[in-house]
Structure 1
Amino acid sequence: MSVRDLDYLFKPASIALIGASKRPGSVGAVLARNLFAGGFDGPIMPVNPHHTAIGGSLAWPDIASLPMTPDLAVVATPADAVPGVVADLRDKGCRAVCVITAGFGEGGDAEGEARRAALLEAAGPMRVLGPNVLGLMVPGMGLNASFAHRDPLPGDLAFIAQSGAMLTSVLDWATGRGIGFSHLVSLGDKIDVDFGDMLNYLATDPKVRAILLYIEAIGDAAKFMSAARAAARTKPVVAIKAGRVAEGAKAASSHTGALAGSDAVYDAAFRRAGMLRVYDMRELFDAVQTLSSELRRMGTLGAAEAMTGPGDRLAILSNGGGIGVLATDSLIEQGGQLAALSPATIERLNGCLPPTWSKANPVDIIGDAPGSRYSEALEALLEDDGADAVLVLNCPTAISDSMEAAEAVLKVAAGHKRPILTSWLGDGSAQPSRRRFVESRVPTYFTAEEAVRGFMHVVRYRRNQMNLMQVPAAKAEVAPDRDMVRGLIDRALAENRPWLSEVEAKQVLQAYGIPIARTEIARSPEQAEAAARGFSMGDLVAVKILSPDITHKSDVGGVVLNLTTPQQVREATAQMMERLSIEFPGARIDGVTVQQMVRRPKAHELIVGLNEDPQFGPVVLFGKGGKEVEIVGDTVTALPPLNDVLAQAVIEETAVYRLLKGYRDEPAVDFEAIRNALIQVSRIAADFAEIKELDINPLIADAQGVIALDARIRVAAATAAEADDPSARLAIRPYPRHLEGTVALQDGRQVAIRPIRPEDAGALQVLVARSDAQDIRFRFLHTMKDLPDRLAARLSQIDYAREMAFVAIDPDDDQAVIGVARLIADADGTQAEYSILLRKDHQGEGLGYAMMNRLIEFARARGIGLIYGDVLDENEPMLSMCADLGFKRAPHEDDASVQRVTLKLASDG
């Protein structure tokens, strides 16, 4: 349902409270008190048959007797009565309801589940918040429809939580520190309104500067990811996830299944969306403070700034050496680095600090430092380009005034854009200084460690945002042999085999361009000897048991290495098959595989895997491989689809990355080959719903490339929906290859047309540069000399779940784009805005009509009911084309120079 009618929840003109009460301490009484005391500018109508008035306002005996239809109803009646109450509200015409009451199957009881089903049926088209919620608060409009213990301050942070207790804890903490909120919403059991809906709604609210989430479970993963990616592009989104146990690893039959647990998948989802994840309540409070301060500017730099510098270089200024050392320890432990001060900065500090200062970062300005010493040193650090931010620390002493130091810092901060963090240690003596920092929106923390954590919050957020902006390089793609892979899967399913053989698994990898070690199947010792004779002289040979019932071969002695002669291969095969048939009498032993041993003494053993998460669908795993993979635990999980930039980010999240990039005389590995393996595994996930698990372990990597030495693939029958669209199970919709095609021009020539890809950012910039200035103004409704990097990235890295852009390819240059037709749907998917831009030398050929028709065809298939666009009055060619295609036109209500053109599609009924 998404954002439909959510304004009735969060911007109601009238409210009814069903279950209002006068009984002290009851939920109904607290709700009534909060509603009436909040300052809501509209009628509040209590409903209770036993009272004539509540809170000084006339009470109504039932819903039918209400003098008007409420926009929002808050329900706090016994659970058994709720479905009937909601049905009465629906019949009254109410559009949104907040169900405070619990008892709707939270514990899995059958009675509660029955109530839940009855509530859903009773609600019909109404939006439902809850049940089992604390309520909702919108301080800016005086709306407090909750039983919280205090009123929130107005502000620009939105906090959305499943837990009412978490919401009141944050409210209590923030109010005491002067931090206000735009929205506080308890989602409870999410029978209707969920995190995806809230993200979609808040992303477009200009009064919301940042969004905080407390998550226990998200529900619809695809909806959440689409909404989160859209929201995080416009404002910071911070999430804390409760319940971090890896439930999915309990019965895992592969390394990937054991390692890609649920918490790792949530971590991957938050990173992919460009969000910031925190791990406990203290971190969440720190994040609230960070986002309510000016430090967040560091995470929202312009494109040019965001692409340069690591962003994690911190300068530390302190009047005590010990506290500076503690801050440094915390910084390094969390992955940051000390800023290297320039010689010019050192010289400048020499001129304003005592001779005994530390002469390095951290900058210890000595315990007797007055405010002037703080200001002069801080000025120098803020003007050093080697520092991304400055942390200022103050320890209380008897010979210096901490408030004087604070005022000096604030005076300097007012004239600089570079972020400043502060930590004034102590209790009573530091409180006035901390209050001044809060008033000035300069982030301040009780300890140096908390300050460093706040800094690293922004660093991690900034890195995630940079990954959203970076554009992968355009390169030719080799089409995989999908038909061959389909045959292997179908044969295994027909034979009722859950696992492909090792040889079959390697054939799948080879079909997707992942290099494999030569491997032959032998059904007997004699066949193994013959296979070995086919290898090159001098090759070392490995023999591995071939059995669908023996999962980890090396654990049971099912692998023999370093065989040098065919006779050794025959003997090892005979001994292995005989021994394992005795030790595993129920196992089916099909023979062995004879494999060329790859001798690369300096290569690294890695793992690349694929697993299916019950919430997010397929996930990709990468990290340090080998037999000890689960003990080492150096792996990272990622959501497909992947591209070069995303794959590289996954690699860099691991500890083994420090070895892979080379050290001393050891060269770096071929990162392009590793990235390709990750990308191809993610493509396998999108192409075949039957592949449920995949392990490449080890994937050996060095400067010469990668080779898969061992591979396992588990398959299972796909559902009818999965078979129709295998990619639909992915939480992020991948590139829709099936929409590639051609369109015919007026002269009969065919032009290739396909969905846009992230790699097209550069081609879009060239298109804009080669387009007529008037065409650019017609497309963007304002003049533009060139397409900025950030906008090019945004226009090419689209969410295929809510947006589509078709690009027409130059027949004479397959790297050039000659036209773009775009469709951006609203969060409900009911309406979409179109735009189109054609290169001047390809106008008048019928390409515009062809691309618009492709957009209309796509919109109908998606169930979009209305296409609209804003066209300048003077853009006669576009208005003429729209008329020919059946669009209606009318003057735009906000701009007399613009026409709004609309096309109602047949699918809208």
Structure 2
Amino acid sequence: MSAQNLERLLLSRHALVIGAPSTPLDEALLSALGTPTHHVHSARQLGAALAEQAAADAVAIVFDASLVNPSVVEALVAQQCRGVVWVCAEPIDERVLQAARPGRLRFLGPRTAGFWHRNGLAAGAFAGELVQTPSRGIALIAQSGSIASAAIDWAAGRRIGFSWAVTTGAEDDADVADFLDVAALDPSTRGVILQLGSIRGGRKFMSAARACARVKPVVVLQSRASSEEGRTTADPVRSAAFARAGLVESETLDGVFDALSALARIPARSQTRVLALGNGAGVCALGLDAVLRYGLTPSSCSDESLAYVQTQAPRARRLDRALDLGPTEPQALARICQRLLDDDSIDYLLLVHSPSVDSPHEPCVAALRDAHLDPRLVTVWLGLKTASTARTQSVEAGLSTFVTAGQAARALRYRWLHGRTRELLMQTPPTRAQSARDRNAAHRIVAAAIAAGHVQLDGETAQRFVACYGMRASSAAGAGDAFDLELCRHPELGEHLTITAVGGVLRSTTARGFAPLDVLLARRMIEDMQLTLDGAQLGALATRLHGALLNLSDIALEHPSVRTLRVRCTISAEMPAPVYGDATVDLDPVSQDERRRLVLAPYPEVLSRTLTTRDERRYHMRAVRPEDEPALIQLLERMRPEDVRLRFFATIRRFSHEMVARMTQVDYDRELVLVTEPEGMPGALCSVAQLILDPYGEAGEFSILVEHAHAGRGLGRMLMEELLAHGRRCALTLIYGDILRQNTPMLTLAEHLGFEFRPHEDPDCRRVELALPPRDEAAPVDRRHRWVWSRSGS
């Protein structure tokens, strides 16, 4: 969480150029600045420029690394330089980075092609096209300057503008995760295009990606291929991580462009019922084939709509899930599209038009433009000579247009995937039944093996180990559907789980996931294998198999010394439960840091404890879980209306799933939500306390709600003290909150705890702030919640 000062860098308006450009790309970046700059070519000139305050409120652009040393950086910090763009190829010296840290001066690069911001400086080799293109609220974050240039050129040709664009290069400091945080907070950004070839810090990337994808669509292209089973493919572990974070992945560069059009022009719908229509049966077949190929739902217009269409186009006819209009006058075509867009059974129209003698492209484009139709209309103008002009006119008119029906359908799929991904991320998992596992015995087995110098558990010991998690080996597996369950380590993303169908009637297919898993995520992994089973068969299989994945997830969370694990699971109708074959377990005597090993923050079990109030009432306090949503809704809806108003600053009668899911499905790296239950009443929540960390990992905003029947016992104070203790562990410098003036108990508590009162823009509200003292260097820092300044980004 290190977006600190990067927005300030992007919004800079002046530049201090250090050194001479050495490549055409450098020259392009320099010429794009288009603003008065200080340009120095020697150490002497640089010293004089710094003495004249040339870096004040400016960004430094470095073409010559030899001119920058710790003393220069200290001078840049003293002059409040907005950031450093390290264009040259040489790595940034660690001493230079160290000198920048006290002032939080941020570096972009090395090997960056620069950046561009609509309200700031044009400091990118690709900036020329961006200036002329109206913004569509899209941010472009790329590691590769060449791919960024291609995306910008393509977008400019279709009149799709970016709000800002940045290339991160080799990422010695600022990386793609930092700029995802910037995009998440930027009100001018509605969507993000992300290109990456490597992931610098898996945990940091996943945290930023999840935070951004929750509030706006993110389309990602991974440009570094991996080799799997003798063929080159996108890294499947990365793809699984993108899906878990809520990103929509494109497999190709032109797919990114389709996604860009979808994000910029096409509105989201909860369904993708698409009606393909055209001016001939053949082009209708092209449209329908594209709809089916990309997994969209073919639609058909109602009888009433068809009757209206036939009044405008007498030769129109309904085909199998498509609509052939035949030759149609341009104005009639516009009226038909308007009527079909009003049909409740149709989400999107896919118009595929052929340039026939009786129906040329250009008059149709003009009629659609003048009708100002809903942007759910997607157009395809076939051909080349006249189609090129029609596409240009469509782009200028703001119509969504594509070269082929396949590209149009792919764009609609990307738009749908984003909505589906967000919906899946917000689903509430059911409570997991407690499995019979013996953690202590499992830990003893691993500890004994490591103490004996073993790097692998032998066959019998491995079987005893997995049996501690309910996976009991048996040689009598018999016939059935077999699956290999594996726990592996990825160089960027750490521990990941795989499940592969390897026998029985199932074709070989693999799905991947990351710990921690819940019931829904485990079932989703099974669905992602795309087994050739009907819904009932798949449901029955998932019911018997998901427990094995949850057990594997537990092993990943609880045993940092387990490097790889493999066990075969067989399921058949004759067996009441899965049967497991021999297991293999490889050990790593040197345990990895948790942040490198687990890309998702595990549940903070360490925070669970019993609280005793001053009247001797006992409460169980713990971090919230996603499955707590129903209990939290019950708590909120039985609260007194006045208590709800004091907490949420509004009278809320009904709490929606989406609202409460944001309080229960949290990233423990960025947010802490504590709940309490009266002793002996598990699931009966009676209070909730929240601390949300800012994107810089420096400040946290608190809120506390205690049910009236449990108020007045000191429970709120104990929860606040827990939040403050957590803030200190995270090395926060400030904790603050906004409190209504009528909330006397909360204001009194803040005063007793030493909070200072600040004015608030709302006269009915008070802001309270508590500065936390600098951390004692001997005290531990909870690095799950704090980004570490290092080249690894861990």
Q: TM-score, normalised by structure 2?
A: 0.89
Report the Cα distance in structure 2 between the residues aligned to 1:888 and 1:861, rounded to whole angstroms.
21
Deviation at 1:868, TM superposition (A): 0.6
Deviation at 1:355, TM superposition (A): 5.6
CA distances 1:681-724 after superposition (whole Å, capped 9, x unpaired): 112101111111122324325597641332423232343665xx
Report the Cα distance in structure 2 between the residues aligned to 1:342 and 1:610, rounded to whole angstroms.
51
Give yes or no for the alignment of 1:19 onto 2:1.
no
Q: What is the 5 A alignment of 1:375-524?
A: 375=334, 377-379=336-338, 381-409=340-368, 414=373, 416=374, 419-478=376-435, 480-514=437-471, 516=472, 519=474
Contact residue 608 and residue 623 of structure 2 kept, 8 A: yes
Contact residue 48 and residue 62 of structure 1 kept, 8 A: no
Deviation at 1:151, TM superposition (A): 4.2
Report the Cα distance in structure 2 between the residues aligned to 1:485 and 1:61, rounded to whole angstroms.
63
> What's 2:533 paired with?
659
Change (3 A) 1:6 1:50: closer
Report the Cα distance in structure 1 between the residues aligned to 2:560 and 2:259, rounded to whole angstroms.
39
Contact residue 287 and residue 457 of structure 1 kept, 8 A: yes
Report the Cα distance in structure 1 between the residues aligned to 2:357 and 2:748, rounded to whole angstroms.
80
CA distances 1:237-273 after superposition (whole Å, capped 9, x unpaired): 11110112148x89xxxxxxx99x9811110111111
502, 527, 535: which one aligns with 1:625: 502
> What's 1:616 paired with?
493
Change (3 A) 1:274 1:704: farther
Letter in 2 for 1:461: H
Contact residue 689 and residue 703 of structure 2 kept, 8 A: yes
Contact residue 274 and residue 468 of structure 1 kept, 8 A: yes
Contact residue 560 and residue 592 of structure 2 kept, 8 A: no
Change (3 A) 1:202 1:727: closer
> What's 2:648 paired with?
780
Q: What is the 5 A alignment of 1:258-273?
A: 263-273=235-245
> What's 1:695 paired with?
566
SS in 1 for 2:498: strand
Report the Cα distance in structure 1 between the residues aligned to 2:256 and 2:388, rounded to whole angstroms.
21
Letter in 2 for 1:688: H
Contact residue 138 and residue 184 of structure 1 kept, 8 A: yes
> What's 1:551 paired with?
none
Report the Cα distance in structure 2 between the residues aligned to 1:148 and 1:647, rounded to whole angstroms.
43
Letter in 2 for 1:103: A
Q: What is the 5 A alignment of 1:105-504?
A: 116-121=93-98, 123-124=100-101, 125-141=104-120, 143-148=121-126, 150-152=128-130, 153-155=133-135, 156-246=137-227, 263-293=235-265, 295-298=266-269, 306=270, 311-339=271-299, 353-354=313-314, 357-366=317-326, 368-375=327-334, 377-379=336-338, 381-409=340-368, 414=373, 416=374, 419-478=376-435, 480-504=437-461
CA distances 1:585-624 after superposition (whole Å, capped 9, x unpaired): xxxxxxxxxx22445xxx4222322111111111111232
CA distances 1:771-802 after superposition (whole Å, capped 9, x unpaired): 11111111112221121111111111000001
Report the Cα distance in structure 1 between the residues aligned to 2:564 and 2:53, rounded to whole angstroms.
60
> What's 2:787 paired with?
none
> What's 1:45 paired with?
38
Report the Cα distance in structure 2 between the residues aligned to 1:60 and 1:83, rounded to whole angstroms.
11
> What's 1:755 paired with?
623
SS in 2 for 1:140: coil
Deviation at 1:503, TM superposition (A): 4.3
Change (3 A) 1:65 1:792: same
SS in 1 for 2:158: coil
What percent identity do the matched residue pairs reach? 28
Report the Cα distance in structure 2 between the residues aligned to 1:446 and 1:781, rounded to whole angstroms.
50
Contact residue 667 and residue 703 of structure 1 kept, 8 A: no
Change (3 A) 1:4 1:819: same
Contact residue 43 and residue 67 of structure 2 kept, 8 A: no
> What's 2:513 paired with?
638
Change (3 A) 1:88 1:877: closer
> What's 1:538 paired with?
none
Report the Cα distance in structure 2 between the residues aligned to 1:88 and 1:843, rounded to whole angstroms.
52
Change (3 A) 1:700 1:501: farther
Q: Give the stretch that moved more between structures: 69-78 or 786-795.
A: 69-78
Change (3 A) 1:673 1:73: same
Change (3 A) 1:428 1:753: same
SS in 1 for 2:614: coil
Contact residue 484 and residue 511 of structure 1 kept, 8 A: yes
Q: Give the stretch that moved more between structures: 490-499 or 805-814.
A: 490-499
> What's 1:798 paired with?
666
SS in 2 for 1:473: coil
Deviation at 1:908, TM superposition (A): 4.7
Letter in 1 for 2:216: K
Deviation at 1:729, TM superposition (A): 2.1
725, 728, 736: which one aligns with 1:857: 725
Letter in 2 for 1:641: P
Give yes or no for the alignment of 1:821 onto 2:689.
yes
Deviation at 1:332, TM superposition (A): 2.6
Contact residue 669 and residue 702 of structure 1 kept, 8 A: no
Change (3 A) 1:719 1:384: farther
Report the Cα distance in structure 2 between the residues aligned to 1:727 and 1:810, rounded to whole angstroms.
34
611, 617, 620: which one aligns with 1:743: 611
Letter in 2 for 1:678: L
Q: Say which structure, 1 or 2, has more relative contact order (CA 8 Å, 6+ apart).
A: 2
65, 81, 87: which one aligns with 2:67: 81
Change (3 A) 1:890 1:165: same
Q: CA RMSD in A?
A: 3.1
Larger Rg: 1
SS in 1 for 2:662: helix
Report the Cα distance in structure 2 between the residues aligned to 1:212 and 1:874, rounded to whole angstroms.
45
Contact residue 670 and residue 704 of structure 1 kept, 8 A: no
**Unpaired segments ≥5 residues, structure 2:** 777-794
Deviation at 1:74, TM superposition (A): 3.2
> What's 2:585 paired with?
714
Contact residue 699 and residue 734 of structure 2 kept, 8 A: yes
Q: Give the stretch that moved more between structures: 789-798 or 376-385.
A: 376-385
Contact residue 809 and residue 815 of structure 1 kept, 8 A: yes
Letter in 1 for 2:264: S
Change (3 A) 1:780 1:813: same
Give yes or no for the alignment of 1:869 onto 2:740.
no
> What's 2:783 paired with?
none
Report the Cα distance in structure 2 between the residues aligned to 1:413 and 1:825, rounded to whole angstroms.
44
> What's 2:779 paired with?
none
Report the Cα distance in structure 1 between the residues aligned to 2:53 and 2:316, rounded to whole angstroms.
78
SS in 2 for 1:64: helix
Report the Cα distance in structure 2 between the residues aligned to 1:766 and 1:411, rounded to whole angstroms.
52
Contact residue 423 and residue 451 of structure 1 kept, 8 A: yes
Contact residue 114 and residue 166 of structure 2 kept, 8 A: yes
Deviation at 1:174, TM superposition (A): 1.8
Contact residue 19 and residue 28 of structure 1 kept, 8 A: no
Deviation at 1:339, TM superposition (A): 2.7
**Unpaired segments ≥5 residues, structure 1:** 38-42, 52-58, 106-114, 251-257, 299-305, 520-594
Letter in 2 for 1:8: R
Aligned length: 771
Contact residue 353 and residue 382 of structure 2 kept, 8 A: yes
> What's 1:71 paired with?
57
Contact residue 746 and residue 846 of structure 1 kept, 8 A: yes
CA distances 1:111-145 after superposition (whole Å, capped 9, x unpaired): xxxx643543454442111111111111233x111
Report the Cα distance in structure 2 between the residues aligned to 1:225 and 1:667, rounded to whole angstroms.
30
Q: TM-score, normalised by structure 1?
A: 0.79
SS in 2 for 1:751: strand
> What's 1:561 paired with?
none
